[in-house]
Amino acid sequence: MPDSPRLAPCGDRALTVEFAQAIDDGVNARVHALDAALARAPPPGVQETMASYGALLVHYDPTLTSFAELAPLLQERARTLTIVPPRQTGWRIPVAYGSTYGFDLDAVAETLGMAPADVVARHSAAHYHVHMIGFLPGFTYLGGLDPSIAMPRRPIPRAQVPAGSIVVGGIQTAIGSIEGPSGWHVIGRTPVRAFMPARDPAVFMMPGDRVILEAVPTAAFDRLARCAADGSLVAEPIL
């Protein structure tokens, strides 16, 4: 049996259920299994849950329940989890690497002692899956980065990076959504709109989805970006 998670209060109206401080497929599967179990049958007072790589944040109404009441219930749920297969959904995401689209690529390659083309080849060859959505609406955290291209975060974060930036930070890589701050390295950009408020669904990639990043030339990026601006979902579904 996997180790029991660690529970800790987060103020008087939330708690965290931490399975591990790790980026790991098995750990992440347990987090989402507990999330799904609570969605199907929430204990009294539970209002909302938020999943991360290795933990689940559980918000509750303190007039209806408490940490002392919820903790044993959640420990029992965690002990009896049914891990379901991930969603059979995949996406091919076009990415323009380097140049003005990935303005950190050359510096990343130099730090790693590689040619920029080698970094692109390794980054685009991996088979990723979505571990979580967060930080910004639709910001998509991917598991599966080749460890050989892991990079420490930038010493000085940028106040803004473009929407759709493909970024690397530590052993993580991600698909940016809207323009926002970042301390990660920008190595490319996708025309895909990971978040569009007027679209249904506003966020189409979900935890468990598989992702392939496909390098495309500038001309293809510009064409796809025009389609995306009109509301088209330019990510290609894959089986």
CA nearest 206: which of 124, 142, 127, 135? 142
What span, in angstroms and rounded, lies between the C-alpha atoms of 80 and 4?
11
- What average pLDDT does the segment 90-108 reach? 97
CA nearest 173: which of 106, 114, 97, 227? 97
Give the sheet arrangement for strand 46-51, strand by strand: 6-9, 14-18, 55-60, 46-51
- What average pLDDT does the segment 24-38 reach? 92
What span, in angstroms and rounded, lies between the C-alpha atoms of 75 and 97?
45
Residue pair 31/55 in contact by the 8 Å Cβ criterion: yes
Residue pair 167/184 in contact by the 8 Å Cβ criterion: yes
Q: What helix, strand, coil percent values describe the chain, rounded to 5?
A: 25, 30, 45
Q: How high is the pLDDT of residue 13?
A: 96
Class of domain 6-79: alpha beta
- Summary count for the chain: helices (H), strands (E): 5, 14
pLDDT digit string, tens, across residues 140-197: 999 999 999 999 999 999 999 999 999 999 999 999 999 999 999 999 999 999 999 9
> Cα 235 vs. chain centroid, distance in angstroms?
16
pLDDT digit string, tens, across residues 80-96: 888 877 677 899 999 99
Residue pair 221/137 in contact by the 8 Å Cβ criterion: no
The full set of domain ranges for the chain reads 6-79, 90-238
Q: How high is the pLDDT of residue 200?
A: 87
Class of domain 90-238: mainly beta
Grade residue 2 by pLDDT with cuts at 50, 70 and 90: low
Q: Which amino acid is at 118?
A: D
Q: How high is the pLDDT of residue 239?
A: 72
- What average pLDDT does the segment 101-128 reach? 97
The lowest-confidence range among 97-106, 142-151, 168-177, 226-235 is 226-235
Q: What is the pTM of this model?
A: 0.89
Q: How high is the pLDDT of residue 84?
A: 75
- Tokens 């950190």 belong to 104
pLDDT digit string, tens, across residues 130-154: 999 999 999 999 999 999 999 999 9
